[in-house]
Each structure stands twice: as structure tokens, then as C-alpha cells.
Amino acid sequence: MSTYTAKGQLDNSSMLKQYSPLVRRLAHQMIAKLPANVELDDLIQVGMIGLADALTRFDAAQGVQFETFATQRIRGAMLDELRGNDYLSRGVRKQQRTIEAAVHKLEQRMGRAPAESEIAREMGITLVEYQELLGKVRGTQLVYLEDMSGDDGDHDYLDRHVADDSFNPLAQLQDHRMREALVAGIKVLPEREQYVMSMYYEHDMNLKEIAAVLKVTESRVCQLHSQSIARLRVKLREY
């Protein structure tokens, strides 16, 4: 496919078609780290706008490959959309930390991973209410060491959770160390949660596929995933 016109300029129509799979790929990568209320199609639509913006701003004379430049513009557009709509509300993050505090307290007291019913009891809510809460906090997970600050003033939450740090050597080192800690943490999760994490992250299975394997509903898989994340965040704070 030719990406240039007869005048030697970028053919925007061809480029949009050629790089639309990149937008979808970036959107899928980002959606995995976000709450359930974020729509994939919304991210793709905004990403396409970012791609179009990249086409108008790209200057080959700068010595940067178009895909690299476009990736940054697409991610930037998606992040701006997320910030503008406050998808990751402070209230949701506070609920996540409340769950983690209960898990940490119980682990210290019991010397083992607490059951969902025990966590619910510790929080003073019913098991059903606790599982509903797990569904709400889906995706409020950590990836990088900077997330360990745990304070309420995490204005750069989106950058730390979904931004691309592939060009940052320090972030790459931190990510390597974090992955080692995550592997160790996953090994001590309850068996069913280990299965969920393995299928989701190692085998790239979606919630529907995991639900079919475990013979449960997709919402239950979402709850198990959120529960696993809460346990891992506690382990990583001890790291």
C-alpha cells in the first residue's frame, strides 16, 4: 500500500487505514488497566483522532519513525480523554485502598490469605455487598513501583497506570523488578485466583473465555480479578 501521494506527501487516507490496527491494539492494551465503565469504542474513536493529528504534525526530517510518533500521539489523546471524563475517580481508588487495608490486616492476623467472606466481615459489609464492590473497582490496579506511595494526591494516576514507559530506562528496570515481585505474589494467591491471573495475563484470555473455563459468570471473573489485584497490591507494598 502506497503511503504517499503523487506529490510525495503522506496519503492521509491510506495511512489512517494502515495504522488503524495500531489504534485498536493500543486501546486494547489500555482498556485492560481501566475500570469496567470505560468503553473500548470510545478509546478507539479518540485514538483515531490522535492518529489523524499525528499525520498532520509528523515531520520525517526529525528522524523519528512515524509509528513511534503516532503511538505517542494516540496514547496522549486517549489519556486526555480519560482525564477529561474522570473515569478513575478518587472515590473508586479510596474503595480499593479500603479493601487492601482489610486484606492486609487479616493477613497479618491470620498468617494466610483471607477468604472473601472474612474480608467482607472485616469491612463490616455483607458478602454480596463486598462482591459488588469488587466489580466497581475493576481495573484500579498497579503496574509500577511509583504507585506504592498510597497517598490521596495521586494526580498522575493515569500516567503511572496506563502511559507508555518503554522509552524510560528507569521505568524498564522498575518494571522488571515489579514483574519478579508479581510472579512471587501470584504464587501465593488462592488457587482459583491464580488461574484467573494466569489466563488473563499469561495467555491473553478475555473475561468471557476465562468464565467458560471456570464455569462461572463474567462478572464473577471480574470480581476474582479485582480480589487478586487487591491481594497483590498488599504484597507489593511489602516488597
| Per-residue pLDDT tens over the stretch 191-200 | 999 998 888 8
Rounded to the nearest 10 degrees, what angle do helices 40-57 and 66-85 cross at? 130
Structural contact between residues 9 and 3, judged by C-beta atoms closer than 8 angstroms:
no
DSSP of 13-56, one letter per residue? HHHHHHHHHHHHHHHHHHHTTS-TTS-HHHHHHHHHHHHHHHHH
Segment among 118-122, 152-156, 214-218 with least mean pLDDT: 152-156
In 137-239, which ranges are continuous DSSP H helix?
157-162, 169-187, 191-197, 207-214, 218-237
Cell 522488571 identifies what position? 176
CB atoms within 10 A of CB 38: 20
Structural contact between residues 199 and 209, judged by C-beta atoms closer than 8 angstroms:
yes
pLDDT at residue 178 in the model? 63
Helices (H) and strands (E) in the chain, counts: 11, 0
Instruction: With 0.75 as the threshold, say if the pTM is over it.
Output: no
The burial class, CB within 10 Å (0-12 / 13-18 / 19+), for 203 is: exposed
The residue among 40, 48, 70 whose CA lies nearest residue 164 is: 70
pLDDT at residue 31 in the model? 80
Cell 509500577 identifies what position? 144
Whether the predicted pLDDT of 90 surpasses 70: no
Average pLDDT over residues 123-151: 68
pLDDT at residue 212 in the model? 94
Segment among 46-50, 107-111, 153-157, 233-237 with least mean pLDDT: 153-157
Structural contact between residues 165 and 175, judged by C-beta atoms closer than 8 angstroms:
yes
What confidence tier does 62 reach under pLDDT thresholds 50, 70, 90? confident
Whether the predicted pLDDT of 115 surpasses 50: yes
Question: What grid cell was written down for 117?
Answer: 467472606
Cell 504507585 identifies what position? 147
Structural contact between residues 69 and 58, judged by C-beta atoms closer than 8 angstroms:
yes
Whether the predicted pLDDT of 147 surpasses 50: no
- Average per-residue pLDDT for the chain: 78
CA distances from 47 to 50, 66, 133, 166, 220 (A): 5, 15, 30, 19, 30
DSSP helix/strand/coil, 224: helix
